Every structure is written in structure tokens, then in C-alpha cells.
Amino acid sequence: MKRKNVKPLAAIFKGLFLGVFLLVGALSLHRVGILKAKRGIASASETAPLDRYWRYRTNLLNSFVWVGDEPGESVPAPILMGGSLFYADSTCYLGQYLSVLATELALLRKSGADTKAVRMEIFYALNAFDRLSKHANQRAGIPDRIDGYFVREDIPVDFLKNRPMKDVQGIEAGSVDEARGLGVVGNEVSQDQVISLLAGYRLLGKFLDEKDDWNGRNLRRMVNRQVESMVRYVNGNGKRKAWRIVRPDTGKNVDKGPDARIFSGPILEAARQVTGEEALDDLSRDWSSLLLMPVLGATPLPYQWFTRSMIFVLGSISNTWGAHTQRAFKRLDKMYDIPMYPLQHAVIFDKKLHPKSRLTQNFFLGMLNNAPDNGPVQSDMNSWNSPDRFYSHRRTRANPPVYKEGDWYFSAGDRFSGLDYMTLHNLYLLYFQPEEVSKYSPSKDYLDRLQFQTKIVL
């Protein structure tokens, strides 16, 4: 009797075990799906959303930048805060704007599309740098000089007059406060502004042809001249202590970020890669960059977020760690969640991403497809929620990461320019070369808005 009861009992346990096994498996697969969504991993069938990219480009012109050569024009604002355009670190974002335009130019060429619009935007953005340098020197009592000394923005008080911008009712900018007699500190060149601009110049140096121009102005020559003058000014040109940034009128350090010695090596290397070795062969790096930059790439970085970010940018545009750069970025990305910089390095230097990193095509697709359809907004603390997701990461190494040190500054609903998204989008297309590249072409809404601003028929 006992033996006859064993089979039914065994069958019951077997059925229960199988049911539990299937339930656990299903829950595990569900959990993997959730984790993939959270980590920005997409299925292989997904594609990069080109329509979203051109919405972001149109949105940039609608609400964050007005293209042209007048004061304040072609300098992007990073934030739309409570109806006011907020200009901060504006030449950092001018550098990122140049990165978007450079990669856009490369992709338009690959698809066979017309490049007239982007070449015009590149010209006006480069012209903005000359205007900012001239304005800075005028403030210092040196009229009509254009060199590597510059202010971050030159927004006039009446900037919005005759410049209708969507959802914009006011302006917050250092130049506006100065014009109103309120005083301003820090609206001038500093090491982080130089480094961010240099990233844009480095991509322009990669993708501009020698004959690219706008109305007879050669864009490549403009880039080379600006890079050389900027780096020479930061270096001191042999007339003062090297790699300290000072005001031309007083000879005193600028208010913020004057000491560029530790970064001098990769700054000089990236600049030479743009201009050619002979243009800056009389300059030399500070000894501290020879010792410290290799160490910084191999260890956790005990610095504030903005110092770490400058290291990430320079690593990506100067090949700081040589043959070990992608290995260093694999480690740094794991610690600080900065996937754009190894991708940027791979595109600039025609390298492969580290084969054991998380940075697969699906990973980047997931990150792009998780972006809001109509532009980044302050709402989700772990997504596209800041002026630059990768530069201003401000995160701890906790798991899950804890954001700190500045996200409190933005309020729910504040909007951002999306330059970080657009840069990543274009780098992704350039590196992985998916089929969407053949369809890369400006949208009618973008072209209409650009023509409205510039009054130039495209």
C-alpha cells in the first residue's frame, strides 16, 4: 500500500517543482526586462529615432539659440527655467553645439544630403567666438583685438526684442546683470570653457573638409586660427607663467578656473591634432600633466564632479592614455556612468570600444530611446534631466547611484537644450553605422525655423 502511494505523491511534488521553476523563470525574465529598461538596453530590432533628433534640433532653434552674427546670437542657452533662458557656462555649451554641428555635417555627407544649413550654423557659431573675444578685450580696454581671451556670453538686455522664442519670457545672463549695473563675476574664459570648446573644435577638425566654407569664409581656417589663439592665450605665449589664465588689462588671474597646468598636456595634444604640429610646436606642457594625467586615468578620481568631467573630455579628444585609453574609459565608465566619452574617443580616433565594456549598440539605443520625445526636462533623477547628462553627472558610486551636489538647483518642469542627447545620437550613428545613416536629412520644421531666424533661403 505504501508503494502505491509513492507515485501520486512524487507526481504532486514534481508538478509543484515545475510550477515554481516556471514562475521563477518568468519573474526572472520580467526582472531582466525591467533592468534592461533601467540600464538603457534596447532590443536589437529598435532603431535610432531620427524624427526625435530633428525635433530636438528644431526645439534648439525654437527656444535655446538664435542663429546669426549679432550680440547674443549663435550662443546657446542650456536651460529654460520658469520661462527664462538661463545662460551659464555658455562657452561650454557653445563647444557642445559645435560638436553637434560637426557630427551632423559628417552624417549629412554620408547620406548624400545637402550641407548648406549646417555649414551656415557652423560659420555663425565660430563667428560668435570671435565676437566674444572682441567683446572681452573691449571690456579690458583693448578695442578691436581678437585672440584667445573671451567672455562666455554677450547677451544684450533687449535680446528678446524682435526675436520671438517659444515659451521664453525673460533672460538671465551675466552680461545682462552687468549692463544693469548689478555686477558680475566669472563671465570670462576659464579652463573648463577652453576644454569644452576644444571638444567641439576637435570634432570639427575631424570632419570639416579643407574647402568647406560659408559665403567665401573657409571654416577649417577659422577653426585652426581660433584653436591656436585660444591655446596660446591659455599658455601665456612665453610672456607670463605658463598655463595660468589671466586678464589682459591687469595681469591677474581670472575669477574662476585660472590654473590649467595639470591639463596642459592633453590640451596641447588635442589642439595640435586640429591645427597640425607645426602651428604650436614652440609650446610645451607643464611637467605636472606628465605625471598626473596617466595616474588619473587608472584610479578613482578624488575630485569634484567638474574636475573629473574635464579629465573625461580631455581623455576622449586627445587620446590621453594612448593604447590604454579605451581600457581606462571602461573602468571610468563603470565608476562614473560616462558612456559618451569612450564613444567620442572611438569616433575621433577610429578605435573600437573595449570589447568587455557594457557599451554595445543595444546599450546606446536604449539610452537614446529612453529620452523624452520633445526634449530633456527636470523630472526623472536618473535620466535626461540636466544641461549635460555626461558632464554634470554629479553622482556617487552607490548602487543604485545617488545624484548630488547640484540637481537641487533645477525645479520640476525646467527644460534643457538637449545638446548632450544630440551629440550622443550622432556619435552613435557614426560609430555603429546602422541603416538610418542613409536616411539622415534635415526636417522641414528645422529648415523653416533656421530660415526664419537668418532670413537666408535654404
Alpha carbons 301 and 303: distance in angstroms, whole number: 6
| Contact call for residues 67 and 123 (beta carbons, < 8 A) | no
- 11 belongs to a structural domain: no
- 390 belongs to a structural domain: yes
Which segment of 54-58, 261-265, 426-430 scores lowest on mean pLDDT?
261-265
Average pLDDT of the segment spanning 15-29: 41
Domain that holds residue 134: 49-454
Q: Is it the case that residue 38 has pLDDT exceeding 50?
A: no
- The distance of Cα 374 from the centroid of its chain, to the nearest Å, equals 18
CB atoms under 10 Å from CB of 238, counted, come to 9
Average pLDDT of the segment spanning 422-448: 96
Task: For strands 170-172 and 84-86, give the pairing.
Answer: parallel
Confidence (pLDDT) at 298: 52
pLDDT tens digits, 308-327: 889 899 999 999 888 989 99
pLDDT tens digits, 341-394: 999 999 999 999 999 999 999 999 999 998 988 888 876 555 788 888 887 654
Residue type, 332: L
User: pTM of whole model > 0.85?
Assistant: yes
Order of all β-strands in the sheet with 170-172 = 170-172, 84-86, 79-81, 415-416
C-alpha count within 13 angstroms, C-beta hemisphere, residue 39: 16
- 26 belongs to a structural domain: no
pLDDT tens digits, 132-185: 999 999 989 998 899 999 999 999 999 999 999 999 999 999 899 888 887 766
- 125 belongs to a structural domain: yes
Alpha carbons 266 and 146: distance in angstroms, whole number: 24
Q: Is it the case that residue 414 has pLDDT exceeding 80?
A: yes
Q: How many domains does the chain have?
A: 1
- 120 belongs to a structural domain: yes
| Contact call for residues 57 and 449 (beta carbons, < 8 A) | no
- 18 belongs to a structural domain: no
The C-alpha torsion from 209 through 211 and 215 to 220, rounded to 10°, is 50
| Contact call for residues 126 and 219 (beta carbons, < 8 A) | yes
- 163 belongs to a structural domain: yes
- 349 belongs to a structural domain: yes
Instruction: Please give, one letter per residue, the 3-state secondary structure of the chain.
Output: CHHHHHHHHHHHHHHHHHHHHHHHHHHHHHHHHHHHHHHCCCCCCCCCCHHHHHHHHHHHHHHCCCCCCCCCCCCCCCEEECCEEECCCHHHHHHHHHHHHHHHHHHHHHHCCCCHHHHHHHHHHHHHHHHHHHHHHHHCCCCCCCCCCCCCCCCCCCCCCCCCCCCCCEEECHHHHHHCCCCCCCCCCCHHHHHHHHHHHHHHHHHCCCCCEECCEEHHHHHHHHHHHHHHHHHCCCCCCCCECECCCCCCECCCCCECHHHHHHHHHHHHHHHCHHHHCCCCCCHHHHHHHHHHCCCCCCCCHHHHHHHHHHHHHHCCCHHHHHHHHHHHHHHHCCCHHHHHHHHHHCCCCCCCCCCCHHHHHHHHHCCCCCCCECCCCCCCCCCCCCCCCCECCCCCCCECCCHHHCCCCCEECCHHHHHHHHHHHHHHCCHHHHHCCCCHHHHHHHHHHHCCCC
